[in-house]
């Protein structure tokens, strides 16, 4: 964290707008993301969180605005000016995308080991033994027993599938991970385990993360900064503690006061 | 002595949009200085704004007016204004300059008590073994039974959680510590341990600003008492 001050941002987002016909998906979104920083995007359903995430991760071209990413060579590139080959390479090496539904991010027809190994082969690894060793290592890091490596993810529980999806994303040592409601749809004890694991991995690997969630407790636990969205606009942004402890906008005050206390 | 912290004309109010935009003034024109090696205690009744002042300094609350100047770096050579600090700056201040000791532990699922305590020291760059040893040492001093160390504190009693949190607050090497009623509801033996910990921090040059309701503890550790009721808006 201390060297965070000297770094250049990893991602620069300027004036991103996405319109669906006349309807606003998201509008005039501006922010920068630094290495090692976890940014939570919160807001209710339909607030534009997922539209923004899809624009940022090159899955949905914005109507206007610019997104620049600092490549490993230190040069900022406009994401929507990359060639298709460059974009694909970026997505399978330097980036990860954790979907809410693990089935969207995994290949259910192949084994757990192959799901992890596939990303390694995509970056040029060919030695079967090494790929298998790395895959085993990653399964253990996400707390999946090594003897499940040849099992099909269809035989895994929801929580295990989600952890497998995370291992698949992290195996190439990405610098930026996008997460779309990663704990949604899991029961609470499984959520707690996943959150603790994510928190640890993010800190150990120094990952930058953009996480979309409607769960403010998840944002509190994982994120450094929060962006609050409503009707496609960013209405409040700041340090996570500050936005949650001293919310300024009426809508943010409503969100924070609606949390159930346990 | 280095001036570690100074508040200049600091003011804070809350606007409650859910109550028809009601504005609640909290404090105004706060003037305050804390030097290294001293412990300044905020006095005044509940609701006077003591906690709000600490939370503004730690960045949990926004500061609406004035300046909160903190000296960072080895000898306090760099002075930053927390009231205007961007989130990244505030996070780096929290990792290397300002610590917050409160009575409420925010429990993290599955993390053991000793790891909860060791974590901030590891974040400051200590190796894991040193940090865990120091954590155990503090937990021993604060009378947390060692059969609990490897368990997550979620199921601990209120007093045990509080002591885990105190250990977490004192393990670090921050030059500035904020103490938010660390001794509330502790028994006499544990209060005495906290007094010792504060004395040790003073001796090593740490500047402290605290809220302490225990009169005996306050008498023993406070070098100065600043009455917060002086910072109320003139009615």
Question: Based on the structure, what is the number of domains in chain B?
Answer: 1
Rounded to 5 degrees, φ, ψ at A95 are: -120, 160
For chain B, percent of residues with pLDDT exceeding 90: 73
Residue A186 pLDDT:
83
User: Which among A199, A221, A242 has CB closest to B62?
Assistant: A242
Residue A4 predicted with pLDDT over 70: no
Contact status of B188 with chain A (Cβ, < 8 Å)? no
In a domain, B173, yes or no: yes
pLDDT tens-digit map of B58-91: 999 999 999 999 999 877 789 999 999 999 999 9
How high is the ipTM of this complex? 0.88
Record: contact B88-A193, CB cut-off 8 A: no
Residue A184 predicted with pLDDT over 70: yes
- The Cα–Cα gap between B98 and B91 comes to 10
In a domain, B132, yes or no: yes
3-state secondary structure string across chain B: CCEEEEEEEEEEEEEEHHHCCEEEEEEEEEEEEEECCCEEEEECCCCCCHHHHHHHHHCCCCCCEEEEEEEECCCCCEEEEHHHCCHHHHHHHHHHCEEEEECCCCCCCCCCHHHHHHHHHHHCCCCHHHHHHHHHHHHHHCCCCHHHCCCCHHHCCHHHHHHHHHHHHHCCCCCEEEEECCCCCCCHHHHHHHHHHHHHHHHCCCEEEEECCCHHHHHHHCCEEEEHHHHCCCC
User: Which among A221, A225, A250 has CB closest to B87?
Assistant: A225
Chain B nearest-CA residue for A35: B88
Going by C-alpha positions, the residue among B151, B138, B74, B75 that lies closest to residue B112 is: B151
Reported as a pLDDT band with limits 50, 70 and 90, residue B109 is confident
What mean pLDDT, rounded, does chain A reach?
92
Which residues from A are below 8 Å from B90, CB to CB? 239
In a domain, B32, yes or no: no
Residue A90 predicted with pLDDT over 50: yes
Record: contact A5-B109, CB cut-off 8 A: no
Sign of CA dihedral A42, A43, A44, A50: negative
In a domain, B218, yes or no: yes
Which residues from A are below 8 Å from B96, CB to CB? 2
In a domain, B115, yes or no: yes
Distance from CA of B216 to the nearest CA of A (A): 31
For chain B, percent of residues with pLDDT exceeding 70: 98
Reported as a pLDDT band with limits 50, 70 and 90, residue A262 is low
Q: Which residue has the higher pLDDT, B123 or B7?
A: B7
Token look-up 């539904």 returns: A101
User: Which among B87, B96, B109 has CB closest to A2?
Assistant: B96
Other CB atoms within a 10 A radius of the CB of residue B202 amount to 17
Residue B54 predicted with pLDDT over 90: yes
Most A CBs within 10 A among B18, B19, B20, B91, hence the mutation to make, goes to B91
Residue A2 pLDDT:
41
What mean pLDDT, rounded, does chain B reach?
92
Record: contact A248-B15, CB cut-off 8 A: yes
In a domain, B207, yes or no: yes
Q: What is the DSSP string of A224-252?
A: SEEEEEETTEEEEEEEHHHHHHS--SHHH
In a domain, B134, yes or no: yes
Residue B124 pLDDT:
85
Which residues from A are below 8 Å from B85, CB to CB? none
Record: contact A1-B109, CB cut-off 8 A: no
Q: Which residue has the higher pLDDT, A139 or A2?
A: A139
Residue A3 predicted with pLDDT over 80: no
Q: What is the domain extent for residue B43?
A: 37-61+84-231
In a domain, B4, yes or no: no
pLDDT tens-digit map of B216-232: 999 999 999 999 998 88
Q: CATH number, domain at B154?
A: 3.40.50.300
Q: Which residue has the higher pLDDT, A130 or B106?
A: A130
Which residues from A are below 8 Å from B108, CB to CB? 196, 199, 221
Which residues from A are below 8 Å from B110, CB to CB? 192-193, 196
Q: What is the mean pLDDT of residues A64-90?
A: 95
- The Cα–Cα gap between A40 and B2 comes to 38
Q: Is A28 left (phi over 0), alpha (psi -120 to 50) or beta?
A: left
Q: What is the mean pLDDT of residues B86-99?
A: 92
pLDDT tens-digit map of A5-64: 557 999 999 999 999 999 999 999 999 999 999 999 999 888 999 999 999 999 999 999
Residue A1 predicted with pLDDT over 50: no
Record: contact B111-A196, CB cut-off 8 A: yes
Contact status of B13 with chain A (Cβ, < 8 Å)? no
Residue B235 predicted with pLDDT over 60: no
By residue count, chain B amounts to: 235
Record: contact A5-B89, CB cut-off 8 A: yes
pLDDT tens-digit map of A217-259: 899 989 999 999 999 999 999 999 999 999 999 999 999 988 7
């Amino acid at each position: 964290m201390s060297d965070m001050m000297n770094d250049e941002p990893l991602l620069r987002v300027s004036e991103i707008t996405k319109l669906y016909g006349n309807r606003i998906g998201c509008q005039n979104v501006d922010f920068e993301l630094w290495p090692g920083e976890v940014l939570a995007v919160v807001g209710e359903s339909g607030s534009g969180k997922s539209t923004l995430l899809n624009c940022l991760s090159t899955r949905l071209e914005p109507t206007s605005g610019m997104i620049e990413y600092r490549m490993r060579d230190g040069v900022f590139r406009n994401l929507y000016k990359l060639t298709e080959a460059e974009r694909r390479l970026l997505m399978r090496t330097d980036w990860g995308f954790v979907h809410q539904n693990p089935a969207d991010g995994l290949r259910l027809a192949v084994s757990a080991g192959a799901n992890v190994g596939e990303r390694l082969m995509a970056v040029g690894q060919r030695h079967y033994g090494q790929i298998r060793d790395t895959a085993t290592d990653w399964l253990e890091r996400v707390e999946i027993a090594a003897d499940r490596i040849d099992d099909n993810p269809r035989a895994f529980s929801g929580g295990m599938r989600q952890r497998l999806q995370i291992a698949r994303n992290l195996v190439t040592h990405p610098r930026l991970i996008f997460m779309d409601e990663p704990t949604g749809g899991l029961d609470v004890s499984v959520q707690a385990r996943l959150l603790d694991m994510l928190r640890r991995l993010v800190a150990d690997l120094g990952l930058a993360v953009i996480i979309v969630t409607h769960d403010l407790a998840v944002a509190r636990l994982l994120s450094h900064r929060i962006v609050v969205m409503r009707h496609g606009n960013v209405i409040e942004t700041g340090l996570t503690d500050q936005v949650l402890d001293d919310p300024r906008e009426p809508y943010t005050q409503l969100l924070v006061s609606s949390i159930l206390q346990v | 002595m280095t001036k570690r912290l100074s508040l200049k004309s600091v003011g804070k109010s809350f606007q409650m949009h859910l109550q028809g935009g009601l504005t609640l003034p909290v404090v105004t024109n706060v003037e305050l200085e804390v030097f290294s090696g001293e412990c300044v205690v905020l006095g005044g009744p509940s609701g006077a704004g003591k906690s709000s002042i600490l939370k503004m300094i730690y960045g949990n609350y926004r500061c609406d007016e004035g300046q909160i100047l903190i000296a960072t770096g080895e000898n306090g050579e760099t002075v930053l204004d927390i009231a205007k600090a961007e989130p990244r700056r505030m996070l780096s201040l929290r990792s290397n300059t300002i610590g917050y000791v409160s009575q409420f532990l925010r429990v993290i699922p599955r993390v053991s008590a000793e790891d909860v305590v060791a974590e901030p020291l590891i974040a400051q760059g200590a190796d894991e073994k040193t940090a865990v040893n120091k954590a155990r040492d503090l937990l021993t001093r604060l009378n947390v039974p060692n059969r609990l160390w490897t368990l997550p504190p979620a199921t601990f009693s209120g007093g045990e959680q509080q002591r885990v949190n105190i250990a977490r607050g004192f393990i670090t090497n921050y030059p500035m510590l904020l103490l938010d009623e660390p001794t509330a509801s502790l028994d006499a033996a544990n209060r005495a341990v906290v007094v010792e910990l504060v004395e040790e921090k003073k001796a090593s040059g740490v500047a402290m600003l605290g809220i302490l309701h225990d009169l005996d503890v306050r008498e023993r550790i406070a070098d100065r008492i600043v009455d917060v009721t002086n910072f109320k808006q003139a009615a």
